[in-house]
Structure formats: C-alpha cells, structure tokens
C-alpha cells in the first residue's frame, strides 16, 4: 500500500541516521529527507486532502493495522484495505501524479519541498508575484520560444522588483510571457515538473544553466 511506504521510509531513514556520523554530508542529506518527509506526513495526518473522517480512518489503520481498524469501524478487513488504497490514490492526485516519495527517497529534497509547497498552496500565485504583475501578463499560451527570449524573460521575472518588472514587461515577447504564465499556473500532471523548475529558478534555488537545460531537453525552447 502506497501510504504505508511513507512510514517505512521514515523508519529506514531514522535507522540510517543512527549509524551515520553527524559531521558528514550523508547525515545532512538524511536530516533533510526526514525534514520534508515529516512535513508531508504531518499534512497527511492533519491536512484537508480528504475528509476528517476518512483521514482519521487512514491514520488509525496505518498505526494499528487492518484487523483493529476493521473492528473499530465495524467493517471488514477487505473494506479497510480498499479504503487505504483509495486514500493512496488521493495522495498521488494531491501531488499531481508526481511520486513525492520517490523524490525524497532519491535525495531530491529541493524538488520534493517545491512539489509539497505547490500541492499545499504554499506557492500561491500572489506569493510569487503580486496581483499587479499577473494583471499585466498576457494570457497563458503554450508555444515553442527561442532560448534567448525565454532566458531573458525568466531572468527578469526572478531579479527585478514588482514595479520595475511591470515597467519592463513591454520589452519582452508576448509569446514568451504567455509560455511563462502557462507553466506558472498549470496543474496538469504532465506540466508539474516544468512548473517546479520554473518556480525553483525564480526563487533562486537553481541556476540559469540548469533551468535552460531542462527546458531545452523538453522541447520548450529552441
């Protein structure tokens, strides 16, 4: 069951942490993995990704097992398993179909944190840019744009203040701005990885070369 894997990963990381010297990069990586994993698990136990009643059942099952949950909720073990499986599907949908567990397992903590914040609306559009900026951006549109134009646009989006940005948008290609807006707002599973890259670039978590490499590899810029 997908949800059980979160607890299994936490147990494994805690076990590895105990035998890893604290003054090593490996220890720091494990600590970061545990940090985002705890945030995710806290949201699963307290967040609004499902109803309070369903969430309570899920948490009880994960803690006490199928048989005890079936007895507590006066149902069958088969029904409990089915409910946990459905909850796992909801969690996958919460993260836009991207497997956040794999990101954490692979040590891709920055990506996992960005995905978590997008999924839980901590990266809202008005947090990235105030309404004044969104109001003057052109409508979202998907198209292939030139490398030079896109880099200029992305660098401007991450480096200048709100009012300075509004005053300079007219020098940028409307099609490039439309592509940027499209990926900054898209919740389609196939666009989430691209949205994460663009968010992380604007927030200065990755450099220009890494951003360009991704967008080129995915045929978004020429």
Tokens coding 25: 């990069």
- What tens digit of pLDDT does each residue of 10-68 get? 999 999 999 999 999 999 999 999 999 999 999 999 999 999 999 999 999 999 999 99
Residue 89 has pLDDT above 90, yes or no: yes
* Residue 164: C-alpha distances to residues 40, 132, 151 (Å): 37, 11, 18
Tokens coding 178: 């439309």
What pLDDT score does 179 carry? 78
Q: Lowest mean pLDDT: which of 80-84, 169-173, 211-215? A: 169-173
- What tens digit of pLDDT does each residue of 126-179 get? 556 666 666 666 666 666 667 787 787 787 777 655 545 656 666 666 777 777
What pLDDT score does 155 carry? 79
- What tens digit of pLDDT does each residue of 181-194 get? 788 778 888 888 88
Q: H-helix or E-strand containing 14?
A: helix 4-18
The half-sphere exposure of 24 on its side-chain side, counting CA atoms within 13 A, is 10
User: What predicted TM-score, i.e. pTM, was given to this entire model?
Assistant: 0.75
What pLDDT score does 163 carry? 46
What are 221's strand-pairing partners?
A: 145
- What are the domain boundaries of the chain? 4-119, 125-217
Which residues are CB-contacts of 172 (< 8 A; sequence separation ≥ 6)? Answer: 149, 152, 153, 156
Q: How far is Cα 133 from Cα 119, in angstroms, rounded to an integer? A: 23
Confidence at 205, pLDDT banded by 50, 70, 90: confident
What pLDDT score does 167 carry? 60
What pLDDT score does 215 carry? 84
User: Is pLDDT larger for residue 3 or for residue 188?
Assistant: 3
Which residues are CB-contacts of 162 (< 8 A; sequence separation ≥ 6)? Answer: 129, 130, 132, 133
- What tens digit of pLDDT does each residue of 167-183 get? 666 666 677 777 777 88
Tokens coding 105: 């397992």
What pLDDT score does 171 carry? 65
What pLDDT score does 212 carry? 87
The closest alpha carbon to 85, from 48, 65, 58, 52, belongs to 58
What pLDDT score does 158 carry? 73
């Amino acid at each position: 069951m997908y949800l059980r894997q979160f607890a299994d990963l936490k147990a494994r990381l805690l076990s590895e942490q105990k035998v890893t010297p604290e003054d090593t990069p490996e220890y720091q990586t494990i600590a970061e993995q545990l940090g985002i994993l705890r945030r995710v698990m806290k949201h699963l136990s307290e967040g609004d990704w499902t109803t309070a009643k369903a969430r309570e059942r899920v948490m009880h099952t994960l803690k006490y097992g199928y048989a005890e949950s079936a007895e507590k909720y006066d149902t069958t073990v088969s029904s409990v398993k089915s409910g946990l499986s459905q909850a796992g599907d909801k969690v996958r949908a919460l993260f836009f179909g991207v497997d956040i567990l794999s990101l954490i397992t692979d040590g891709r903590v920055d990506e996992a944190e960005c995905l978590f914040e997008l999924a839980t609306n901590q990266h809202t559009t008005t947090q990235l840019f105030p309404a004044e900026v969104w109001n003057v951006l052109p409508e979202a549109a998907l198209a292939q744009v030139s490398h030079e134009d896109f880099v200029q646009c992305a660098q401007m989006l991450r480096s200048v203040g709100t009012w300075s940005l509004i005053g300079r948008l007219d020098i940028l290609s409307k099609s490039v701005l439309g592509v940027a807006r499209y990926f900054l707002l898209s919740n389609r599973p196939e666009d989430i990885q691209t949205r994460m890259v663009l968010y992380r670039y604007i927030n200065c978590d990755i450099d220009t070369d890494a951003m360009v490499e991704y967008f080129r590899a995915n045929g978004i810029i020429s």
